[in-house]
Structure 1
Amino acid sequence: MTDIHPPFRDGRLPVAERVEDLLGRLTLDEKIAMLHQFAPAVERLGVDAFRTGQEALHGVAWMGAATVFPQAVGMGATWNEELVRRVGEAVGTETRAMKARDPRVGLNVWAPTVNLLRHPLWGRNEEGYSEDPVLTSAVAVAYTRGLRGDHPVHWRTAPVLKHWLAHNNETDRDTTSSSVRPRVLHEYDLRAFRTAVEAGAVAGVMPSYNLVNGRPNHLSPHLLDQLRDWTDRSLVVCSDAGAPSNLVDSEHYYDTHEESTAAALRAGVDSFTDHGQDSSVIDGRLRRAHEQGLIDQKDIDRAVRRLLRMRFDLGEFDPGTGPYAAAAGFDTPGHRALAQECAEQAVVLLKNDALLPIADGARVAVVGLLADECKLDWYSGTLIHRSTPLDGLRERFGAQNVVFAEGADRVRLRCTSGWVRVPESSEPEQARGAEGALDPALLAGRTDLPPLTCGDEASELAMIDWGHGVLTFRAPDGRYLSVAEDGFLRASADQPGGWVVQETFRLREHGAGHLLEHIGTGRYVSVAADGLKVADIGEVFGVEITERGEDAAAAAAAGADVVVVVAGNDPHINGRETEDRRTLALPGHQDRLWRAAVAANARTALVLVSSYPYAVADAHAALPALLWTAHGGQAAGTALARVLAGDVSPAGRLPQTWYAADADLPDLLDYDIIGSGQTYLYFAGTPLYPFGHGLSYTSFRYEGLTAAREEDTVTVSLTVTNTGTVTADEVVQLYTRALDCAVPRPARQLAAHRRLSLAPGASARLGFAVPVAELGFWDVARGRWTVTAGRYEFLAGASSADIRQTVTAEIDGEAPAVRATVGRPVEAADYDEQRGTLIVDRAKTSGDAVTPSRDGAPGELVFRRCDLEGAGSVSVEVSATGPGAVVLRLADGTVLAAFDVPATDGVYDYVTSGRALSAAGPAGSGPHDVHVELSGPVRLARLLFSA
């Protein structure tokens, strides 16, 4: 007999009880099917199909028209959590509204990205908020609270944080390992995730493609020993796309997919995103893993329970009830105004020598490759509204007062049979679909338009060099040349885009001309009877430049009162998901444009619209004004114009350090921010623009800074006054610094901030509550978080380098640690310093070991302040794939013990070997620094000193 009113449908019961009732009604096969991203319906129970994953990084993505807000790094630049919370609320509301009309839209949103922007060459820099964990977590908490809503039971959407853990490179991203020592793990990478999870508005996390300390993140032990210890609520772990298969196919971590899928499930992965909508592959692997005894029913139930809890929280089993059930709020006037407000608050004024704001009635020349662009990125929705810098300046200053020069090189391409010609199209320049959105079909190469040909007539093309020889070509009708699946070259794309960009080319010198390489296919453009198409052997083209971009820029600039050069990146080219940048330098084409403009007119401002920082030291020296904004979404142009005109005083602040040159950067794969001096926390050089930097059209005075400890909190207060003549926002930043700590600590570290608006002459007294625990660090000698006793400085200012007030407080805490060694294992990864080593996996499930990072070169670990009193011997726990050695020395070179390590049965087969300490041992002489040299293919797990 069918249960018409089962308990899981009874909204009066506790949610946990309802989840257990539904879980108990499912068969094993039905449970396994729920573990795939696309979970099928269970029709016999009336349970709908469900999918995890809806991209919503800065608006609803991939589902057509939606409000497009500034990129995440732009939201980070606002330093305004209240604003970001409202953006999250708007995105969540639109997700619900879009779900009501399109069942493909998901309510489990994969956002925000809280990976820290450690390295500015990371291709996905645009997706994160900041290089600082405190700022990142503050913005992430705000965005997730907006997405989740504030109802105690029902969730508007269920946010999932990306990407767990220590993920900052696209280069070989599924096979590279981030070597992350405990201090960096706890003080930096985990910190951004932890605060957001503890705030209670997060439904789960997504592991990243990379490995950490030699172990794939989809098997991370920290999913259990960290993540799920931070909260009592259920959290769902969703795999990244294709990552479960990577465990075998590219990472070779397991021999069979049954082993790897079972290991991921046991490690805490609940939802498997693999093989698109085809769930049969993952279902089969899980079923066979169960049959082989690799997982049991409890493992499966645990994951399904978490997934069901999320679905109950979203109201799936209480249709029509709750505050978020009614679909409303799509492309509202409020959302449009919010997109503009966010774009305005994200603009950062980098330099201003009295050029800005631009006076009313001024003649403005707008120059640059991004001057008439409103670029989208991989995680953008489709634009309903569009505002470019040129649009915004024409609207603000009047079209008659604004002249424009894009600055693209104009070229004609010559072939053996004549000239390259773009056939005329009967379609309008930009076809628009429903609700006025740009037709997404124009983002890919089309086959319904005629291919390019070679003949007597030539078409003039706009050729843009985006750096490293990567070119795009635009036809006279505004469309980009693109290659479709049939291989023909057409003017068919509104913008470069797609997972594999089909609109980028390279000119390769060949004889007296050039081969035109299509980057997306790696083939060359050839001339056939039916049109231009890609082939293995290409045509030799001649390139005739009819107008150089810098000449057009100079001509436009010469007669203007003010010149605005708009430069930056296309988010689909040279720096994006799957592709890291090679350099901080501005592409040469754009560098030439600003130089040509300022040579023609000294009153030139450079606006950088980009997903990441640039090294523009020459521009800073030569130009009176520079600004930066991330790609600002649908209202970017209007917002920028209002800032340039002074309608809004700029108050965005840099969320990451802008370095002066590539030489300031560490290796992309060096994740040890402490050892290699990364981010503003540890960088010892002079940046071009420091973390937190941003200027204003007014001035502010800081005074009266005080700090007083009250139990577990330090209350820091100060007064800020607007001493200028215009109403403006100020971002007050509070930093801390440990003055007496025996281990390396940040030069200064953000503790709190506040964005506030002040009228001319107005003052505000601000108070910040800094938990004493936030002054601590991960003490490797003690193996835990520690606040040491001593003096701590509190620094208030307008950036990390513009400190206006300081005050020092004495904080009670623990004494500096001497590392206890006798009878207590010293974990190899708990070193204080290292040279030439990597942390690797001690076992497939958990634990760390250390090995030399370069074949044939030794590595060294340093353990500071070791108490060796009473030590008479030492043992090492090691594995080796060939002969190696471990040597322990004191700082003066005295050898304490030396071990020849023979090959063991494998990297996970550890043996323990002991030696008596040398007669020159340090007994009775106080703490010592112990240096451990590793040679050969050795993995050192731990040391143990004994009496």
Structure 2
Amino acid sequence: MTDHPLPFRDPRLSFSRRADDLLGRLTSDERIAMLHQFAPAVERLGLGPFRTGQEALHGVAWMGPATVFPQAVGLGATWNDDLVRRIGEAVGNEVRAKRAQDDRVGLNVWAPTVNLLRHPLWGRGEEGYSEDPALTSAIAVAYTRGLRGDHPRYWRTAPVLKHWLAHNNETDRDTASSSVRPRVLHEYDLRAFRDAVRAGAVAGVMPAYNLVNGRPNHVSPLLGQYLRRWTDQPLVVCSDAGAPSNLVDSEHYFDTHEEATAASLKAGVDSFTDHGTDSTVMTGRIRDALAKGLIDESDIDTAVRRLLAMRFALGEFDPELDPYAQVDDLDTEEHRALALEAAEQAVVLLKNDGLLPLEPKQGRTVAVVGLLADACKLDWYSGTLLHRSTPLDGIRARYGAENVLFAEGVDRVRLKSSDGWVHVPAADGAAEGGARGAEGALDPALLAGRTDLPPLTCGDEPTELALVDWGDGVLTLRTDEGLHLSVADDGYVRASADEPGGWVVQETFRLEAVEGTDDGYRLLHLGTGGYVSVAADGAKVADAGGKISRNDATVFERETVEHGADAVARVAAAADTVVVVAGNDPHINGRETEDRTTLALPAQQDRLWRAAHAANPRTVLVLASAYPYAVGDAADGLPALLWTAHGGQAAGTALARVLAGDVSPAGRLPQTWYASDDDLPGLLDYDIIGSRQTYLYFDGTPLFPFGHGLGYADFTYSALRTEVDGERLRVALTVTNDGGPAADEVVQLYVRAAGPAKTAEPAREGPGRRLPGLGDPRDLPRRKLVAHRRVHLAPGAAEHIACEVPVEELGHWSVAHGRWTVEPGTYEILAGASSADIRLIATAVVHGEAQGPRPVATHGLEAVDYDRQKDTEILDRTKTEGDVVAPASADEEGSLVYEACDFGEGVSGLRFLASGEGSITVSVSGHSLALQLPDTGGPYAYRTFEAALDLRGVHEMGIGLRGTVRLARVDVVPATEETA
């Protein structure tokens, strides 16, 4: 082998040795420059520029044409690890192929999103896989393994998990704090990240915008305490865009940007995504922090070393040895087939009274109706479509175009002002017939943002517009040519957008009724907040003076030419069967920066399925959406109901194949579908245990349970066996396809605690004593997924399924002892087709030592380690570490309960480490005390307060907090001491 003049160029050396050598050759300024997202070249050493961050959630995003796979929540609905791994490989190969075409494409991919789908109103639910940590982990491991590749040394791409940690709200997302108790932290939120990191296919994580327990995620001590202890790999932490500045600008957590930057770097952030491609702001802050002694060179070196290790793993310095350097797999036949397979496997059959499958046959006509019937929707993290298949396209192809009727169901309207009818002038040179080419690709000449097209006018010639109400009064207006009314930077309203889209959507409006009139409306443009005014030079929402005000808005009359429900009823009555396709546009009412307000289907779409069903009882409702809906009436009244996430480029073909019976559906719900908004906790309530969230704890009856999904075949479960073998729980069973077509079944294994093990020695009891064992059953999951397997079986075929589950999966986080624990006792293993459709139950006995009561007499207790709470929140003890508990409102008392507190042979009092001002009350088995706390001097100014209380034995202890008190710890005053 040829000698290499510089060690960092020598592929015979380890990446760590090469990174150290290269690090030693960089100047201080060169090292600092590498900490920004856009690291410049170092020409004197032959280093090229490097960019962290390439979006690849379900295909290569933002970089032009690429294969578009189903949304992430749709991948979760497949419950198919192998399929998702193959999709990861395809996406990784397309990243490599596009990198060869365009050096702006980065190999450090920011995907997947593993935030759990705790709350169905979260606007970014489409980006996650599941509400369950085990399913999310399995899908994430599969996707990252595909993205990473299987070469032992070089990586295809370097995946970064998003978004650390407990991030489920867009409302106030950069200032809201998620209050996460230790059990929820360890059993739920951390688990979603842990398995993927341990699997060795993750290059790093991205912290979320929000705060957790009062501390911004970008200075989270959990990055060091947990994340980096799960692996020996040098994980890179990439900040979210603009988040470093938020620490000062919106969160006001630090006084200066130098302090904030230094704290982020020390907490573990390695790459700063801020101020776009302009790196000078962030590098200037780092230099200033260094000059002020807030950081030292070693802090910078640690971060740069991690970034260099990633670059070495991506083959940057060994192009001749990089096995992925020549990959050119973009839009291959295999990728197109994989997109179709994924779209098929993501379809969930929610209900079927025998109407499906709908076999194509002579004389059968199908009416395809609904606002999404002829739509192939993309989301913010999609690539540009190379191929496009809508439900209408797929059904026409499968059933024959001559047998398919169509009505979109839009309301067709005309608007009139005092100057005449709203008119869309013809665009010189604009293509007639819409904005899509033969393959469905977008015509760039007709994209939003153009300023060379004529704006709307008012005159004698009306333009008929298709009005779609997406819910909450959010409207889009579209011409017959398929162009949406949109607003460009100059403030004029034009028909210029193929679809709603963009970071700020410019295609949405709201009609506001004018007081004192019967049918007068103002038209508000939601993207700018300006009202539409039609002047001599055309319609606009802003001018040189700023946004058009409400008082200056043009008043319009609305004339409805045709109600969409009437058109739907007409074609429904003329068909053998009706397929209604409803759902959402991923850019409207639920997306990044915007949470949903309700589970309800928008009223206009609700009217459409009802009109179709009234005209034709053979009506199928297909929900194509990024999230669940509460559609109880549809579930009760319609013979068939399906759901699919937006399925990418092959969505329509896949749906048609499922409807026709070419494919037996086997998608399963990755999250609970609740019956109504009344079933939901507050969006910002992250205590899934206390507020009974997700299938793990929900006590009500869902509309459709987690894991639910039907098919066209019947499966029998038999011969469930369990065995505890050391640290492994072995589970085996047999599944048989008893009838119907060849089909997939998704076997789901759950576990729940059944009861404590019998002990030879009775436990020492005391007043209020809870016997050792499995704890309060209210606090344990009703059932918890521990394994799943998607299998394909021919008619009459059977498959033996064997799984190994770590015994630790039967455990929970013990707040009494501050560790993961598996209590001895009997556990039930449940095998079934969903969390509610359990076919077989077996038991397993786990032996071991019961944890016993809290050792308060010897160890005290952390305030955050409560068993139950009401009206409290968890906040930061200091800006670098620790938690405290405070009242959620200074005007209301918050309460905490600590079960089975062992005060030993006796204590004479309690010590409270607290800050703030207010009161602390304690109640223990009839004894009580009250402390008034003077102002300690600020939230981080802690003092110790003592109170006399004679206690012995085991008791339940209640603590009340009022005012601005922040309680950190409770310790005892031994009986040999007197209280101060």
Tell me if both proteins adopt one fold, taking TM over 0.5 as the criterion. Answer: yes
Among 607, 617, 626, which residue is 2:632 paired with? 617
Which residue of structure 1 lines up, in the alignment, with residue 466 of structure 2? Answer: 462
CA distance in 2, matches of 1:441, 1:582: 35
Among 910, 934, 938, which residue is 1:874 paired with? 910
Is 1:596 the counterpart of 2:611? The answer is yes
Contact in 1 for aligned 2:430/2:446 (Cα 8 Å): no
Is 1:562 the counterpart of 2:577? The answer is yes
Task: Spell out, residue by residue over 1:925-946, the C-alpha distance to the aligned partner (whole angstroms, 9 max, x if none).
Answer: x421100000111000000013
Which residue of structure 2 lines up, in the alignment, with residue 223 of structure 1? Answer: 223
Task: Spell out, residue by residue over 1:797-840, the C-alpha distance to the aligned partner (whole angstroms, 9 max, x if none).
Answer: 00000000000111112314201111312000000000000000
Task: Spell out, residue by residue over 1:159-209, the C-alpha distance to the aligned partner (whole angstroms, 9 max, x if none).
Answer: 000000000000000000000000000000000100000000000000000
Among 866, 879, 883, which residue is 1:848 paired with? 883
Among 811, 815, 830, which residue is 2:850 paired with? 815
Contact in 2 for aligned 1:841/1:848 (Cα 8 Å): yes
Contact in 2 for aligned 1:786/1:814 (Cα 8 Å): no
CA distance in 1, matches of 2:74, 2:61: 17
How far the C-alpha of 1:305 sits from its partner, in A, is: 0.2
Q: Structure 1 residues 33 and 439, CA, compared in 2 at 3 Å: closer, same or farther?
A: farther
SS of residue in 1 equivalent to 2:92: helix
Count of aligned positions: 936
How far the C-alpha of 1:4 sits from its partner, in A, is: 7.8
Identity %: 69
Among 384, 387, 395, which residue is 1:385 paired with? 387
CA distance in 1, matches of 2:585, 2:53: 26
The root-mean-square deviation of aligned C-alpha atoms, in Å, is 1.2
How far the C-alpha of 1:13 sits from its partner, in A, is: 1.3
Q: Which amino acid aligns with 1:824?
A: H
SS of residue in 2 equivalent to 1:304: helix
How far the C-alpha of 1:855 sits from its partner, in A, is: 2.6
Report matched runs for 1:464-543 at 5 Å: 464-510=468-514, 511-512=516-517, 513-534=520-541, 535-536=548-549, 537-543=552-558
CA distance in 2, matches of 1:261, 1:893: 51
Q: Structure 1 residues 686 and 435, CA, compared in 2 at 3 Å: closer, same or farther?
A: closer
Which residue of structure 2 lines up, in the alignment, with residue 199 of structure 1? Answer: 199
Which residue of structure 2 lines up, in the alignment, with residue 800 of structure 1? Answer: 835
Report matched runs for 1:72-87 at 5 Å: 72-87=72-87
Which residue of structure 2 lines up, in the alignment, with residue 938 of structure 1? Answer: 965
Which residue of structure 2 lines up, in the alignment, with residue 407 of structure 1? Answer: 409
Among 834, 838, 841, which residue is 2:873 paired with? 838
SS of residue in 1 equivalent to 2:266: helix
Is 1:900 the counterpart of 2:900? The answer is no
How far the C-alpha of 1:15 sits from its partner, in A, is: 1.2
Is 1:884 the counterpart of 2:884? The answer is no
Q: Structure 1 residues 442 and 875, CA, compared in 2 at 3 Å: closer, same or farther?
A: farther
Contact in 2 for aligned 1:443/1:498 (Cα 8 Å): no
Contact in 1 for aligned 2:387/2:439 (Cα 8 Å): no
Among 679, 684, 709, which residue is 1:664 paired with? 679
How far the C-alpha of 1:725 sits from its partner, in A, is: 2.1
Task: Spell out, residue by residue over 1:742-767, the C-alpha distance to the aligned partner (whole angstroms, 9 max, x if none).
Answer: 13210000000000000111111111
SS of residue in 2 equivalent to 1:822: helix
Which residue of structure 2 lines up, in the alignment, with residue 363 of structure 1? Answer: 365
How far the C-alpha of 1:437 sits from its partner, in A, is: 3.5
Is 1:631 the counterpart of 2:658? The answer is no
CA distance in 2, matches of 1:460, 1:853: 53
CA distance in 2, matches of 1:418, 1:140: 57
Contact in 2 for aligned 1:355/1:625 (Cα 8 Å): yes
How far the C-alpha of 1:445 sits from its partner, in A, is: 2.8
How far the C-alpha of 1:906 sits from its partner, in A, is: 1.1
Is 1:865 the counterpart of 2:900? The answer is yes
Task: Spell out, residue by residue over 1:458-512, the C-alpha distance to the aligned partner (whole angstroms, 9 max, x if none).
Answer: 0100000000100000011111000111111111000000000000000011142
Contact in 1 for aligned 2:74/2:645 (Cα 8 Å): yes
Report matched runs for 1:743-758 at 5 Å: 743=776, 744-758=779-793
Q: Structure 1 residues 893 and 836, CA, compared in 2 at 3 Å: closer, same or farther?
A: farther
Which residue of structure 2 lines up, in the alignment, with residue 427 of structure 1? Answer: 430
Which residue of structure 2 lines up, in the alignment, with residue 826 of structure 1? Answer: 861
Task: Spell out, residue by residue over 1:694-740, the C-alpha distance to the aligned partner (whole angstroms, 9 max, x if none).
Answer: 00101100011110111111111111110112100000000000122
CA distance in 2, matches of 1:540, 1:370: 31
Q: Which amino acid aligns with 1:876?
A: F
CA distance in 1, matches of 2:740, 2:109: 44
SS of residue in 1 equivalent to 2:23: helix
Contact in 2 for aligned 1:79/1:731 (Cα 8 Å): yes
CA distance in 2, matches of 1:908, 1:384: 56
Between 926-935 and 624-633, the greater mean CA deviation after superposition: 926-935
Is 1:697 the counterpart of 2:730? The answer is no
Q: Which amino acid aligns with 1:424?
A: A
How far the C-alpha of 1:435 sits from its partner, in A, is: 9.2
Contact in 2 for aligned 1:443/1:496 (Cα 8 Å): no
SS of residue in 1 equivalent to 2:12: coil
Report matched runs for 1:683-762 at 5 Å: 683-740=698-755, 741-743=774-776, 744-762=779-797
Contact in 2 for aligned 1:443/1:497 (Cα 8 Å): no
SS of residue in 2 equivalent to 1:596: helix
SS of residue in 2 equivalent to 1:357: coil
Contact in 1 for aligned 2:873/2:886 (Cα 8 Å): yes
Report matched runs for 1:177-256 at 5 Å: 177-256=177-256
CA distance in 1, matches of 2:472, 2:726: 57
Contact in 2 for aligned 1:738/1:793 (Cα 8 Å): yes
CA distance in 2, matches of 1:324, 1:22: 23
Q: Structure 1 residues 618 and 748, CA, compared in 2 at 3 Å: closer, same or farther?
A: same
Report matched runs for 1:271-420 at 5 Å: 271-361=271-361, 362-420=364-422
Which TM-score applies when normalising by structure 2?
Answer: 0.95
SS of residue in 2 equivalent to 1:266: helix
CA distance in 1, matches of 2:934, 2:62: 55
Which residue of structure 2 lines up, in the alignment, with residue 786 of structure 1? Answer: 821
Report matched runs for 1:914-925 at 5 Å: 914-917=946-949, 921-923=950-952
CA distance in 1, matches of 2:187, 2:394: 43
How far the C-alpha of 1:922 sits from its partner, in A, is: 4.0
Which TM-score applies when normalising by structure 1?
Answer: 0.98
SS of residue in 1 equivalent to 2:782: coil
Contact in 2 for aligned 1:430/1:438 (Cα 8 Å): no
Q: Which amino acid aligns with 1:703?
A: S
Which residue of structure 2 lines up, in the alignment, with residue 35 of structure 1? Answer: 35
CA distance in 2, matches of 1:58, 1:42: 33
CA distance in 1, matches of 2:870, 2:791: 45
Q: Which amino acid aligns with 2:403?
A: N
Task: Spell out, residue by residue over 1:858-903, the C-alpha distance to the aligned partner (whole angstroms, 9 max, x if none).
Answer: 00010000112222111000000xx30111102x5430x3211110
SS of residue in 1 equivalent to 2:858: coil
SS of residue in 2 equivalent to 1:726: coil
**Ranges in structure 2 where 5+ consecutive residues have no aligned partner:** 542-547, 756-773, 975-980
Among 591, 595, 598, which residue is 1:580 paired with? 595
Contact in 1 for aligned 2:746/2:790 (Cα 8 Å): yes
Among 445, 451, 455, which residue is 1:447 paired with? 451
CA distance in 2, matches of 1:458, 1:181: 60
Q: Which amino acid aligns with 2:938?
A: G
Contact in 2 for aligned 1:610/1:628 (Cα 8 Å): yes
**Ranges in structure 1 where 5+ consecutive residues have no aligned partner:** none
How far the C-alpha of 1:442 sits from its partner, in A, is: 4.1
How far the C-alpha of 1:436 sits from its partner, in A, is: 7.3
